[in-house]
Protein backbone atom coordinates (compact mmCIF):
# COMPACT_ATOMS: atom_id res chain seq x y z
CA UNK A 1 0.00 0.00 0.00
CA UNK A 2 1.49 3.33 -1.09
CA UNK A 3 1.72 5.57 1.96
CA UNK A 4 1.76 8.68 -0.24
CA UNK A 5 -1.58 7.84 -1.85
CA UNK A 6 -3.48 6.78 1.27
CA UNK A 7 -5.08 9.26 3.66
CA UNK A 8 -3.99 9.73 7.25
CA UNK A 9 -6.50 9.08 10.01
CA UNK A 10 -6.19 12.34 11.93
CA UNK A 11 -8.73 11.36 14.59
CA UNK A 12 -9.31 7.69 15.37
CA UNK A 13 -11.75 6.30 17.91
CA UNK A 14 -12.89 2.74 18.59
CA UNK A 15 -15.42 1.39 21.08
CA UNK A 16 -15.71 -2.35 21.65
CA UNK A 17 -18.66 -3.97 23.42
CA UNK A 18 -18.26 -7.32 25.14
CA UNK A 19 -21.60 -8.92 26.13
CA UNK A 20 -21.29 -11.81 28.61
CA UNK A 21 -23.81 -14.06 30.33
CA UNK A 22 -23.82 -13.92 34.12
CA UNK A 23 -24.16 -17.16 36.04
CA UNK A 24 -26.97 -17.14 38.67
CA UNK A 25 -25.76 -17.56 42.24
CA UNK A 26 -28.05 -20.35 43.45
CA UNK A 27 -31.62 -21.19 42.44
CA UNK A 28 -33.51 -19.70 45.39
CA UNK A 29 -33.81 -16.19 43.93
CA UNK A 30 -35.27 -15.56 40.50
CA UNK A 31 -34.15 -11.92 40.13
CA UNK A 32 -30.48 -11.58 40.97
CA UNK A 33 -28.88 -8.16 41.36
CA UNK A 34 -25.36 -9.10 40.31
CA UNK A 35 -24.09 -5.55 40.62
CA UNK A 36 -24.67 -5.65 44.37
CA UNK A 37 -21.70 -8.02 44.68
CA UNK A 38 -19.58 -5.42 42.89
CA UNK A 39 -20.87 -2.62 45.11
CA UNK A 40 -20.11 -4.67 48.21
CA UNK A 41 -16.51 -5.17 47.01
CA UNK A 42 -15.99 -1.47 46.22
CA UNK A 43 -13.05 -1.20 48.63
CA UNK A 44 -11.09 -3.97 46.92
CA UNK A 45 -11.93 -3.45 43.24
CA UNK A 46 -11.24 -0.81 40.60
CA UNK A 47 -14.90 -0.70 39.55
CA UNK A 48 -16.92 2.22 40.93
CA UNK A 49 -20.63 2.91 40.55
CA UNK A 50 -21.52 5.82 38.26
CA UNK A 51 -23.41 8.59 40.02
CA UNK A 52 -26.72 9.80 38.63
CA UNK A 53 -25.80 12.97 36.69
CA UNK A 54 -29.42 14.11 36.64
CA UNK A 55 -29.45 14.93 40.34
CA UNK A 56 -26.33 17.11 40.14
CA UNK A 57 -26.54 20.66 38.77
CA UNK A 58 -22.79 20.73 38.15
CA UNK A 59 -22.60 17.40 36.30
CA UNK A 60 -25.72 17.68 34.13
CA UNK A 61 -24.74 19.44 30.88
CA UNK A 62 -26.33 20.51 27.61
CA UNK A 63 -24.53 17.59 25.96
CA UNK A 64 -26.38 15.18 28.25
CA UNK A 65 -29.60 17.08 27.53
CA UNK A 66 -29.16 16.64 23.76
CA UNK A 67 -28.54 12.96 24.31
CA UNK A 68 -31.63 12.63 26.51
CA UNK A 69 -34.07 14.28 24.08
CA UNK A 70 -32.90 12.04 21.23
CA UNK A 71 -34.90 9.15 22.65
CA UNK A 72 -38.60 8.40 22.97
CA UNK A 73 -40.14 8.47 26.49
CA UNK A 74 -40.08 4.71 27.07
CA UNK A 75 -36.44 4.56 25.94
CA UNK A 76 -35.67 7.49 28.25
CA UNK A 77 -37.16 5.56 31.17
CA UNK A 78 -35.02 2.56 30.27
CA UNK A 79 -31.78 4.52 29.96
CA UNK A 80 -32.23 7.21 32.62
CA UNK A 81 -35.14 6.24 34.86
CA UNK A 82 -37.88 8.59 35.95
CA UNK A 83 -37.82 11.71 38.11
CA UNK A 84 -40.62 10.65 40.47
CA UNK A 85 -39.25 8.52 43.28
CA UNK A 86 -41.22 6.30 45.61
CA UNK A 87 -41.64 7.20 49.25
CA UNK A 88 -38.60 5.90 51.06
CA UNK A 89 -37.60 3.51 48.26
CA UNK A 90 -34.72 4.85 46.14
CA UNK A 91 -35.14 2.09 43.53
CA UNK A 92 -38.64 3.12 42.43
CA UNK A 93 -38.38 5.19 39.26
CA UNK A 94 -34.73 4.31 38.82
CA UNK A 95 -33.29 3.11 35.52
CA UNK A 96 -33.00 -0.70 35.23
CA UNK A 97 -29.45 -0.14 33.94
CA UNK A 98 -26.66 -0.13 36.53
CA UNK A 99 -23.36 1.36 35.40
CA UNK A 100 -19.83 0.93 36.79
CA UNK A 101 -16.56 2.41 35.55
CA UNK A 102 -12.85 2.01 36.23
CA UNK A 103 -10.22 4.71 35.68
CA UNK A 104 -7.04 2.85 36.60
CA UNK A 105 -6.36 2.02 32.94
CA UNK A 106 -5.09 5.13 31.21
CA UNK A 107 -3.75 3.81 27.89
CA UNK A 108 -3.22 0.70 25.81
CA UNK A 109 -0.11 -0.19 23.85
CA UNK A 110 -0.28 -2.58 20.90
CA UNK A 111 2.10 -4.11 18.38
CA UNK A 112 1.06 -5.68 15.08
CA UNK A 113 2.71 -8.22 12.80
CA UNK A 114 6.41 -7.76 12.16
CA UNK A 115 6.44 -4.08 13.09
CA UNK A 116 8.39 -3.79 16.37
CA UNK A 117 7.21 -0.22 16.88
CA UNK A 118 4.27 -0.19 19.32
CA UNK A 119 1.25 2.08 18.88
CA UNK A 120 -0.23 3.71 21.95
CA UNK A 121 -3.87 4.72 22.35
CA UNK A 122 -5.59 6.66 25.06
CA UNK A 123 -8.22 4.68 26.99
CA UNK A 124 -11.08 7.17 27.29
CA UNK A 125 -13.40 4.94 29.29
CA UNK A 126 -13.93 1.42 30.58
CA UNK A 127 -17.57 0.94 31.57
CA UNK A 128 -19.54 -2.09 32.75
CA UNK A 129 -23.33 -2.24 32.30
CA UNK A 130 -25.70 -4.46 34.28
CA UNK A 131 -29.40 -4.85 33.52
CA UNK A 132 -32.10 -5.50 36.11
CA UNK A 133 -33.73 -8.95 35.87
CA UNK A 134 -31.48 -10.02 32.96
CA UNK A 135 -28.34 -12.10 33.54
CA UNK A 136 -26.30 -10.08 31.05
CA UNK A 137 -23.40 -7.65 31.51
CA UNK A 138 -21.77 -5.58 28.76
CA UNK A 139 -18.30 -4.08 29.08
CA UNK A 140 -17.50 -1.11 26.83
CA UNK A 141 -13.91 -0.03 26.19
CA UNK A 142 -13.23 3.18 24.26
CA UNK A 143 -9.78 3.98 22.87
CA UNK A 144 -8.59 6.92 20.74
CA UNK A 145 -5.52 7.92 18.77
CA UNK A 146 -4.24 10.56 16.36
CA UNK A 147 -2.27 10.67 13.12
CA UNK A 148 -2.50 6.98 12.28
CA UNK A 149 -1.77 5.52 8.89
CA UNK A 150 -4.69 3.72 7.27
CA UNK A 151 -3.08 0.26 7.74
CA UNK A 152 -2.51 0.99 11.43
CA UNK A 153 -6.14 2.02 11.89
CA UNK A 154 -7.37 -1.08 10.03
CA UNK A 155 -5.12 -3.38 12.04
CA UNK A 156 -6.43 -1.89 15.27
CA UNK A 157 -10.06 -2.32 14.22
CA UNK A 158 -9.45 -5.87 13.03
CA UNK A 159 -7.28 -7.20 15.88
CA UNK A 160 -8.01 -5.29 19.10
CA UNK A 161 -11.45 -6.60 20.12
CA UNK A 162 -10.65 -10.32 20.20
CA UNK A 163 -11.53 -12.30 23.33
CA UNK A 164 -9.09 -15.08 22.36
CA UNK A 165 -7.12 -16.29 19.30
CA UNK A 166 -8.99 -18.19 16.60
CA UNK A 167 -5.84 -20.11 15.61
CA UNK A 168 -2.04 -19.85 15.74
CA UNK A 169 0.23 -18.84 12.91
CA UNK A 170 3.40 -20.84 12.10
CA UNK A 171 5.49 -18.33 14.09
CA UNK A 172 3.36 -18.99 17.21
CA UNK A 173 1.39 -15.73 17.21
CA UNK A 174 -2.32 -15.75 17.94
CA UNK A 175 -4.37 -15.65 14.77
CA UNK A 176 -6.38 -12.46 14.06
CA UNK A 177 -5.04 -10.90 17.28
CA UNK A 178 -2.56 -8.12 17.97
CA UNK A 179 0.96 -9.37 18.62
CA UNK A 180 0.87 -7.78 22.09
CA UNK A 181 -1.70 -5.75 24.02
CA UNK A 182 -0.69 -3.96 27.23
CA UNK A 183 -2.90 -2.01 29.62
CA UNK A 184 -1.00 0.92 31.19
CA UNK A 185 -1.79 3.17 34.14
CA UNK A 186 -1.23 6.94 34.28
CA UNK A 187 2.40 6.42 35.28
CA UNK A 188 3.05 4.22 32.26
CA UNK A 189 3.35 1.02 34.32
CA UNK A 190 2.05 -2.17 32.71
CA UNK A 191 -1.05 -3.48 34.48
CA UNK A 192 -1.62 -6.52 32.29
CA UNK A 193 -0.29 -8.03 29.07
CA UNK A 194 -1.92 -10.30 26.51
CA UNK A 195 -0.92 -13.98 26.30
CA UNK A 196 -2.06 -14.91 22.78
CA UNK A 197 1.14 -16.85 22.19
CA UNK A 198 0.50 -19.31 25.04
CA UNK A 199 -1.06 -21.90 22.75
CA UNK A 200 -0.86 -24.85 25.16
CA UNK A 201 -2.82 -23.04 27.87
CA UNK A 202 -5.68 -22.29 25.46
CA UNK A 203 -5.70 -25.87 24.17
CA UNK A 204 -5.66 -27.34 27.68
CA UNK A 205 -8.54 -25.10 28.80
CA UNK A 206 -10.73 -26.14 25.86
CA UNK A 207 -9.81 -29.79 26.38
CA UNK A 208 -10.80 -29.67 30.06
CA UNK A 209 -13.82 -27.36 29.99
CA UNK A 210 -15.16 -27.44 26.39
CA UNK A 211 -15.17 -23.63 26.29
CA UNK A 212 -12.50 -21.17 25.04
CA UNK A 213 -10.17 -19.49 27.50
CA UNK A 214 -10.36 -15.71 27.72
CA UNK A 215 -7.14 -13.82 26.93
CA UNK A 216 -5.33 -12.60 30.02
CA UNK A 217 -5.61 -8.85 29.36
CA UNK A 218 -9.41 -9.05 28.92
CA UNK A 219 -9.64 -11.30 31.95
CA UNK A 220 -7.79 -8.63 33.95
CA UNK A 221 -10.15 -5.90 32.84
CA UNK A 222 -13.24 -7.84 33.99
CA UNK A 223 -11.95 -8.65 37.47
CA UNK A 224 -13.37 -9.31 40.04
CA UNK A 225 -15.79 -10.91 37.56
CA UNK A 226 -14.24 -14.26 36.63
CA UNK A 227 -14.79 -16.75 33.84
CA UNK A 228 -17.25 -19.43 34.95
CA UNK A 229 -15.05 -22.44 34.19
CA UNK A 230 -11.80 -20.98 35.51
CA UNK A 231 -10.24 -21.89 38.85
CA UNK A 232 -10.33 -18.27 40.02
CA UNK A 233 -12.53 -17.13 42.87
CA UNK A 234 -14.86 -14.20 42.31
CA UNK A 235 -18.25 -12.84 43.43
CA UNK A 236 -19.65 -12.87 39.88
CA UNK A 237 -19.02 -15.53 37.27
CA UNK A 238 -19.59 -15.08 33.55
CA UNK A 239 -19.28 -16.92 30.27
CA UNK A 240 -19.34 -15.88 26.64
CA UNK A 241 -22.67 -15.49 24.92
CA UNK A 242 -21.50 -14.42 21.44
CA UNK A 243 -18.63 -14.81 19.00
CA UNK A 244 -15.04 -14.09 20.14
CA UNK A 245 -14.91 -10.98 17.93
CA UNK A 246 -16.46 -8.22 19.97
CA UNK A 247 -18.99 -5.83 18.38
CA UNK A 248 -17.29 -2.52 17.68
CA UNK A 249 -17.93 1.09 16.77
CA UNK A 250 -15.34 3.19 14.97
CA UNK A 251 -14.95 6.86 14.15
CA UNK A 252 -12.36 7.87 11.55
CA UNK A 253 -11.65 11.49 10.54
CA UNK A 254 -9.38 11.58 7.46
CA UNK A 255 -7.13 14.41 6.37
CA UNK A 256 -8.13 13.82 2.73
CA UNK A 257 -11.28 11.86 1.97
CA UNK A 258 -10.64 11.94 -1.75
CA UNK A 259 -7.72 9.50 -1.33
CA UNK A 260 -10.04 6.92 0.16
CA UNK A 261 -10.89 4.26 -2.44
CA UNK A 262 -13.97 2.06 -2.55
CA UNK A 263 -11.83 -0.90 -1.49
CA UNK A 264 -10.60 1.09 1.54
CA UNK A 265 -14.14 1.97 2.57
CA UNK A 266 -15.27 -1.64 2.23
CA UNK A 267 -12.37 -2.82 4.40
CA UNK A 268 -13.20 -0.21 7.02
CA UNK A 269 -16.94 -0.93 6.97
CA UNK A 270 -16.54 -4.73 7.02
CA UNK A 271 -13.57 -4.49 9.44
CA UNK A 272 -11.14 -6.62 7.49
CA UNK A 273 -7.36 -6.67 7.65
CA UNK A 274 -5.37 -4.05 5.66
CA UNK A 275 -4.86 -4.58 1.93
CA UNK A 276 -4.14 -2.97 -1.39
CA UNK A 277 -6.33 0.10 -1.89
CA UNK A 278 -6.80 -0.80 -5.55
CA UNK A 279 -8.01 -4.35 -4.89
CA UNK A 280 -11.38 -5.28 -3.39
CA UNK A 281 -11.21 -7.53 -0.30
CA UNK A 282 -13.94 -9.81 -1.71
CA UNK A 283 -15.31 -10.57 -5.16
CA UNK A 284 -16.96 -7.80 -7.15
CA UNK A 285 -20.18 -9.81 -7.40
CA UNK A 286 -20.34 -10.23 -3.63
CA UNK A 287 -19.79 -6.49 -3.10
CA UNK A 288 -22.03 -5.18 -5.89
CA UNK A 289 -24.70 -4.02 -3.41
CA UNK A 290 -22.37 -3.01 -0.58
CA UNK A 291 -23.45 0.64 -0.62
CA UNK A 292 -27.18 -0.13 -0.63
CA UNK A 293 -26.95 -2.81 2.05
CA UNK A 294 -24.40 -1.46 4.50
CA UNK A 295 -24.10 2.30 3.93
CA UNK A 296 -26.28 5.14 5.19
CA UNK A 297 -25.52 8.08 2.92
CA UNK A 298 -27.82 10.81 4.13
CA UNK A 299 -24.83 13.19 4.18
CA UNK A 300 -22.54 11.59 1.60
CA UNK A 301 -21.91 12.42 -2.06
CA UNK A 302 -19.72 10.38 -4.36
CA UNK A 303 -17.22 11.95 -6.73
CA UNK A 304 -13.79 13.56 -6.72
CA UNK A 305 -15.08 16.95 -5.57
CA UNK A 306 -16.51 15.85 -2.26
CA UNK A 307 -18.03 18.31 0.15
CA UNK A 308 -16.03 18.89 3.31
CA UNK A 309 -19.09 17.88 5.35
CA UNK A 310 -19.32 14.45 3.73
CA UNK A 311 -20.18 11.83 6.34
CA UNK A 312 -20.80 8.15 5.66
CA UNK A 313 -22.24 5.64 8.12
CA UNK A 314 -21.54 1.95 7.58
CA UNK A 315 -23.20 -0.82 9.57
CA UNK A 316 -23.37 -4.60 9.23
CA UNK A 317 -24.78 -5.22 12.70
CA UNK A 318 -21.55 -6.43 14.25
CA UNK A 319 -19.76 -3.19 13.31
CA UNK A 320 -20.82 0.45 13.15
CA UNK A 321 -18.46 2.92 11.43
CA UNK A 322 -18.53 6.66 10.76
CA UNK A 323 -16.07 8.29 8.37
CA UNK A 324 -15.64 11.94 7.49
CA UNK A 325 -13.21 14.80 7.02
CA UNK A 326 -10.95 16.01 9.80
CA UNK A 327 -11.23 19.54 8.34
CA UNK A 328 -14.97 19.72 9.01
CA UNK A 329 -15.68 21.23 12.42
CA UNK A 330 -19.18 19.80 12.35
CA UNK A 331 -17.57 16.36 12.20
CA UNK A 332 -14.77 16.68 14.77
CA UNK A 333 -16.08 19.23 17.29
CA UNK A 334 -16.13 17.42 20.64
CA UNK A 335 -18.99 19.50 21.96
CA UNK A 336 -21.58 19.58 19.19
CA UNK A 337 -20.01 17.71 16.27
CA UNK A 338 -20.53 14.21 14.92
CA UNK A 339 -17.88 12.80 17.25
CA UNK A 340 -20.03 13.81 20.24
CA UNK A 341 -23.11 12.12 18.76
CA UNK A 342 -21.01 9.06 17.96
CA UNK A 343 -19.77 8.72 21.54
CA UNK A 344 -23.16 9.24 23.16
CA UNK A 345 -26.38 8.99 21.11
CA UNK A 346 -25.11 6.43 18.58
CA UNK A 347 -23.26 4.51 21.24
CA UNK A 348 -26.52 4.07 23.17
CA UNK A 349 -28.30 2.92 20.01
CA UNK A 350 -25.58 0.33 19.47
CA UNK A 351 -25.68 -0.69 23.15
CA UNK A 352 -29.46 -1.23 23.13
CA UNK A 353 -29.37 -3.26 19.93
CA UNK A 354 -26.64 -5.59 21.19
CA UNK A 355 -28.18 -5.86 24.65
CA UNK A 356 -31.43 -7.05 23.09
CA UNK A 357 -29.58 -9.67 21.04
CA UNK A 358 -27.51 -10.84 24.02
CA UNK A 359 -30.61 -11.10 26.24
CA UNK A 360 -32.43 -13.24 23.66
CA UNK A 361 -29.38 -15.48 23.28
CA UNK A 362 -29.24 -15.81 27.06
CA UNK A 363 -32.90 -16.88 27.23
CA UNK A 364 -32.36 -19.44 24.46
CA UNK A 365 -29.33 -20.75 26.30
CA UNK A 366 -31.38 -21.17 29.48
CA UNK A 367 -33.81 -23.41 27.59
CA UNK A 368 -30.91 -25.48 26.25
CA UNK A 369 -29.45 -25.81 29.75
CA UNK A 370 -32.83 -26.85 31.16
CA UNK A 371 -33.25 -29.59 28.54
CA UNK A 372 -29.67 -30.82 28.92
CA UNK A 373 -30.25 -31.40 32.65
CA UNK A 374 -33.59 -33.17 32.18
CA UNK A 375 -33.81 -36.82 33.19
CA UNK A 376 -37.32 -38.05 32.34
CA UNK A 377 -36.93 -41.02 34.71
CA UNK A 378 -36.19 -38.75 37.68
CA UNK A 379 -39.25 -37.02 39.14
CA UNK A 380 -37.11 -34.37 40.83
CA UNK A 381 -35.35 -33.60 37.53
CA UNK A 382 -38.71 -33.28 35.79
CA UNK A 383 -39.93 -30.90 38.50
CA UNK A 384 -36.80 -28.74 38.17
CA UNK A 385 -37.19 -28.72 34.40
CA UNK A 386 -40.77 -27.53 34.74
CA UNK A 387 -39.71 -24.78 37.17
CA UNK A 388 -36.85 -23.64 34.92
CA UNK A 389 -39.09 -23.36 31.87
CA UNK A 390 -41.75 -21.44 33.82
CA UNK A 391 -39.09 -19.10 35.19
CA UNK A 392 -37.64 -18.51 31.72
CA UNK A 393 -41.11 -17.73 30.39
CA UNK A 394 -41.66 -15.19 33.16
CA UNK A 395 -38.29 -13.53 32.45
CA UNK A 396 -39.10 -13.40 28.73
CA UNK A 397 -42.45 -11.72 29.40
CA UNK A 398 -40.78 -9.12 31.62
CA UNK A 399 -38.04 -8.60 29.02
CA UNK A 400 -40.68 -8.00 26.33
CA UNK A 401 -42.43 -5.33 28.39
CA UNK A 402 -39.33 -3.64 29.79
CA UNK A 403 -36.60 -3.93 27.16
CA UNK A 404 -37.98 -4.89 23.74
CA UNK A 405 -38.12 -1.81 21.47
CA UNK A 406 -38.42 -1.62 17.70
CA UNK A 407 -37.96 2.13 17.78
CA UNK A 408 -36.15 4.25 20.35
CA UNK A 409 -36.09 7.64 18.60
CA UNK A 410 -38.17 9.74 16.23
CA UNK A 411 -35.16 11.74 15.05
CA UNK A 412 -34.83 10.66 11.43
CA UNK A 413 -31.13 9.76 11.43
CA UNK A 414 -31.15 7.98 14.79
CA UNK A 415 -34.34 6.14 13.85
CA UNK A 416 -32.87 4.95 10.53
CA UNK A 417 -29.55 3.88 12.05
CA UNK A 418 -31.23 1.89 14.84
CA UNK A 419 -33.46 0.13 12.30
CA UNK A 420 -30.33 -0.66 10.26
CA UNK A 421 -28.64 -2.19 13.30
CA UNK A 422 -31.65 -4.37 14.13
CA UNK A 423 -32.00 -5.48 10.53
CA UNK A 424 -28.42 -6.71 10.25
CA UNK A 425 -28.43 -8.27 13.73
CA UNK A 426 -31.68 -10.07 12.79
CA UNK A 427 -33.04 -9.56 16.29
CA UNK A 428 -36.67 -9.67 15.11
CA UNK A 429 -36.14 -13.16 13.79
CA UNK A 430 -34.24 -14.17 16.95
CA UNK A 431 -37.04 -12.74 19.10
CA UNK A 432 -39.70 -14.71 17.22
CA UNK A 433 -37.68 -17.94 17.40
CA UNK A 434 -37.08 -17.51 21.13
CA UNK A 435 -40.75 -16.69 21.76
CA UNK A 436 -41.84 -19.74 19.76
CA UNK A 437 -39.48 -22.04 21.65
CA UNK A 438 -40.65 -20.77 25.01
CA UNK A 439 -44.31 -21.08 23.99
CA UNK A 440 -43.71 -24.61 22.67
CA UNK A 441 -42.13 -25.58 25.97
CA UNK A 442 -44.96 -23.97 27.90
CA UNK A 443 -47.64 -25.65 25.76
CA UNK A 444 -45.94 -29.00 26.24
CA UNK A 445 -45.89 -28.53 30.01
CA UNK A 446 -49.55 -27.45 30.00
CA UNK A 447 -50.62 -30.47 27.94
CA UNK A 448 -48.52 -32.73 30.13
CA UNK A 449 -50.19 -31.25 33.21
CA UNK A 450 -53.65 -31.80 31.71
CA UNK A 451 -52.68 -35.37 30.85
CA UNK A 452 -51.60 -35.97 34.44
CA UNK A 453 -54.85 -34.48 35.72
CA UNK A 454 -56.86 -36.69 33.35
CA UNK A 455 -54.98 -39.76 34.56
CA UNK A 456 -55.71 -38.74 38.14
CA UNK A 457 -59.43 -38.38 37.35
CA UNK A 458 -59.41 -41.84 35.75
CA UNK A 459 -57.78 -43.34 38.83
CA UNK A 460 -60.30 -41.65 41.09
CA UNK A 461 -63.13 -42.89 38.87
CA UNK A 462 -61.85 -46.46 39.12
CA UNK A 463 -61.51 -46.17 42.90
CA UNK A 464 -65.02 -44.71 43.14
CA UNK A 465 -66.47 -47.46 40.93
CA UNK A 466 -64.99 -50.23 42.99
CA UNK A 467 -65.87 -48.45 46.20
CA UNK A 468 -69.44 -48.30 44.97
CA UNK A 469 -69.66 -52.08 45.14
CA UNK A 470 -68.81 -52.18 48.81
CA UNK A 471 -70.98 -49.17 49.53
CA UNK A 472 -74.12 -50.76 48.03
CA UNK A 473 -73.42 -54.20 49.55
CA UNK A 474 -72.90 -52.89 53.06
CA UNK A 475 -75.71 -50.36 52.62
CA UNK A 476 -78.30 -53.04 51.85
CA UNK A 477 -77.29 -55.09 54.87
CA UNK A 478 -77.19 -52.00 57.05
CA UNK A 479 -80.78 -50.96 56.37
CA UNK A 480 -82.03 -53.41 59.06
CA UNK A 481 -84.84 -54.71 56.80
CA UNK A 482 -83.85 -58.26 57.74
CA UNK A 483 -82.94 -59.11 61.29
CA UNK A 484 -80.01 -61.45 60.89
CA UNK A 485 -78.11 -60.49 64.02
CA UNK A 486 -78.76 -63.84 65.70
CA UNK A 487 -77.74 -65.96 62.70
CA UNK A 488 -74.33 -67.64 62.58
CA UNK A 489 -71.48 -65.96 60.64
CA UNK A 490 -71.77 -68.28 57.61
CA UNK A 491 -75.38 -67.24 57.08
CA UNK A 492 -74.39 -63.56 57.31
CA UNK A 493 -71.61 -64.18 54.79
CA UNK A 494 -74.10 -65.88 52.49
CA UNK A 495 -76.41 -62.85 52.54
CA UNK A 496 -73.48 -60.50 51.99
CA UNK A 497 -72.28 -62.44 48.97
CA UNK A 498 -75.86 -62.63 47.72
CA UNK A 499 -75.82 -58.81 47.49
CA UNK A 500 -72.13 -58.32 46.70
CA UNK A 501 -71.87 -60.59 43.64
CA UNK A 502 -74.81 -59.13 41.63
CA UNK A 503 -73.77 -55.58 42.50
CA UNK A 504 -70.14 -56.27 41.51
CA UNK A 505 -71.25 -57.82 38.21
CA UNK A 506 -73.57 -54.88 37.53
CA UNK A 507 -70.89 -52.24 38.28
CA UNK A 508 -68.21 -54.04 36.26
CA UNK A 509 -70.65 -54.48 33.38
CA UNK A 510 -71.46 -50.75 33.58
CA UNK A 511 -67.73 -49.98 33.38
CA UNK A 512 -67.40 -52.19 30.29
CA UNK A 513 -70.31 -50.39 28.67
CA UNK A 514 -69.36 -46.98 30.11
CA UNK A 515 -68.36 -45.47 26.76
CA UNK A 516 -71.71 -46.39 25.15
CA UNK A 517 -73.61 -45.45 28.29
CA UNK A 518 -71.95 -42.00 28.24
CA UNK A 519 -73.24 -41.57 24.66
CA UNK A 520 -76.73 -42.58 25.80
CA UNK A 521 -76.67 -40.13 28.72
CA UNK A 522 -75.48 -37.36 26.40
CA UNK A 523 -78.31 -38.08 23.94
CA UNK A 524 -80.82 -38.32 26.81
CA UNK A 525 -79.93 -34.76 27.86
CA UNK A 526 -80.02 -33.46 24.26
CA UNK A 527 -83.37 -31.69 23.82
CA UNK A 528 -82.98 -31.68 20.04
CA UNK A 529 -83.37 -35.47 19.82
CA UNK A 530 -86.81 -37.07 19.98
CA UNK A 531 -87.61 -40.15 22.12
CA UNK A 532 -87.29 -42.51 19.16
CA UNK A 533 -83.64 -41.44 18.59
CA UNK A 534 -82.93 -41.63 22.30
CA UNK A 535 -84.41 -45.16 22.37
CA UNK A 536 -82.15 -46.22 19.49
CA UNK A 537 -79.18 -44.84 21.39
CA UNK A 538 -80.15 -46.96 24.41
CA UNK A 539 -80.41 -50.05 22.23
CA UNK A 540 -76.97 -49.36 20.80
CA UNK A 541 -75.54 -49.95 24.26
CA UNK A 542 -76.08 -53.69 23.67
CA UNK A 543 -75.61 -53.69 19.91
CA UNK A 544 -72.60 -55.46 18.36
CA UNK A 545 -71.45 -52.13 16.88
CA UNK A 546 -72.24 -48.66 18.02
CA UNK A 547 -74.43 -46.95 15.43
CA UNK A 548 -73.63 -43.45 16.69
Confidence of residue 547 (pLDDT cuts 50, 70, 90): very low
pLDDT of the residue at 55: 58
d(CA 334, CA 315): 22
How many residues are there in the chain? 548
Q: Is the distance from CB of 242 to CB of 253 less than 8 angstroms?
A: no
Neighbours of 84 (CB within 10 A): 7
Assigned domain for 52 exists: yes
d(CA 279, CA 337): 33
State what percent of residues in the chain have pLDDT above 70: 87
d(CA 460, CA 445): 22
Three-state SS at 485: coil
pLDDT of the residue at 426: 95
Assigned domain for 313 exists: no
- Which of 98, 130, 165 terminates a domain? The answer is 98
d(CA 338, CA 326): 11
Residue 79 domain boundaries: 47-98
Give me the residues paired with residue 17 across strands. Answer: 140
Assigned domain for 169 exists: no
Neighbours of 524 (CB within 10 A): 12
Confidence of residue 509 (pLDDT cuts 50, 70, 90): confident
Assigned domain for 535 exists: yes
Assigned domain for 479 exists: yes
How high does pLDDT run on average in the chain? 86
d(CA 153, CA 247): 16
Assigned domain for 430 exists: no
Q: Is the distance from CB of 107 to CB of 120 less than 8 angstroms?
A: yes
State the total domains in the chain. 2
- Which of 77, 98, 119 terminates a domain? The answer is 98
Assigned domain for 382 exists: no
For the ranges 56-60, 296-300, 363-367, the lowest mean pLDDT is seen at: 56-60
Q: What is the DSSP pairing of strand 134-149 with strand 319-325?
A: unpaired
Assigned domain for 29 exists: no
pLDDT of the residue at 470: 63
Please indicate whether residue 464 or residue 400 has the higher confidence score (pLDDT): 400
- Which of 65, 98, 131 terminates a domain? The answer is 98
Amino acid sequence: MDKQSTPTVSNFRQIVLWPVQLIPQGDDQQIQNHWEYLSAAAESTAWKAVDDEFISETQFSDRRYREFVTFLPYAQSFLYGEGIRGDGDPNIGRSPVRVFYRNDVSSVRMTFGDDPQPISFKVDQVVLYFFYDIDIAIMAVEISGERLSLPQAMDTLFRFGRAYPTHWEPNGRGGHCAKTVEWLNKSGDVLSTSDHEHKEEYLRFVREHRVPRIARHWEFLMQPLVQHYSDQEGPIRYREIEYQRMPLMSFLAFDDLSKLTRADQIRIGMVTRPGDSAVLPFSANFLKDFESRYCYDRHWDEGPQQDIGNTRFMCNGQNFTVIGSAEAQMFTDRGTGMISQFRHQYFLLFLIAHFQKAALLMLSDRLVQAISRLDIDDSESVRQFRDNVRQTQEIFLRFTQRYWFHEVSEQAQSKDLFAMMLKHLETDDLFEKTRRRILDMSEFLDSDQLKRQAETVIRLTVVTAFGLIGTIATGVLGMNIFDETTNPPLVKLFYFMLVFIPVAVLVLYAIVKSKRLSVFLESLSDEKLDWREKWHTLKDVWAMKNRL
